[in-house]
Amino acid sequence: MINIKKNKTKSAKPEVISRTAGSWVYSRIVKDHFFRPRNLLLQDPAAGQYNAQGIIGSPACGDVMRIWLKVDPATDRIKEFRWRTFGCASAIAATSMLSVMVTERGGLKVDKALAIRPQDITKRLGGLPDRKIHCSVLGDKALRAALNDWFKQTGQYQRVIVEGTAIIDPDTKVTEADIEEAVIEGARTLNDLQKKTKVGIGNPACLPKAEELLRFYNEKYFGGGN
């Protein structure tokens, strides 16, 4: 049996997020949400208990996040956010924190919830290692998937969020989504991006668009680009 000691803290002061002796150093808030996850749902809910759900990720490649929402149709507020995550400490903590952010103070309106950015989750956690930023991104995507489910069920098709899948390089079939993923995994420069995706290697005409997306996603997830 593993004994878990609760870490009582008086401050939300973030710790330095770095890699030390081969292991990641997490903030006290991340540890708290990992050991005491909020709004976790270990078993599938009863039919009709929630009116929207979303899932993102794959067990074959890593983290999977599944969330259930209860949206009040009269107020357009998210009253409940329950979740189950298969993944690392960062994935669990990020989903737990997102569930708190969405439901605190009586629940956010849907549009306010959609405005939450991955870096907002990371900030509330006191930081995450760079290579774990994708964990907050998955939570953000799972929330959008659940709200798309809500929009479709209620006939609000004009509010459905369409994710970008445009092909940027027709030769290598690199898509906008591929560039987004490369940035999440650490691409900061065009050279980084080409090493990860091969975009523009034989078709330099697509490089301006690739560089534009590189800057956009670096700004979106990390607050700036090179």
Q: Is there a contact between 71 and 102 (Cβ–Cβ < 8 Å)?
A: no
Report, in angstroms and rounded to the nearest whole number, the Rg of the chain calculated over CA atoms. 19
Q: Is there a contact between 99 and 4 (Cβ–Cβ < 8 Å)?
A: no
Q: Is there a contact between 180 and 189 (Cβ–Cβ < 8 Å)?
A: no
Any idea which residues carry the catalytic annotation?
A: 61, 135
Token readout for 21 is 């002796």
Query: Which residue is it, tokens 């006191």?
Result: 126
Token readout for 221 is 């997830």
Query: Which residue is it, tokens 């809500």?
Result: 150
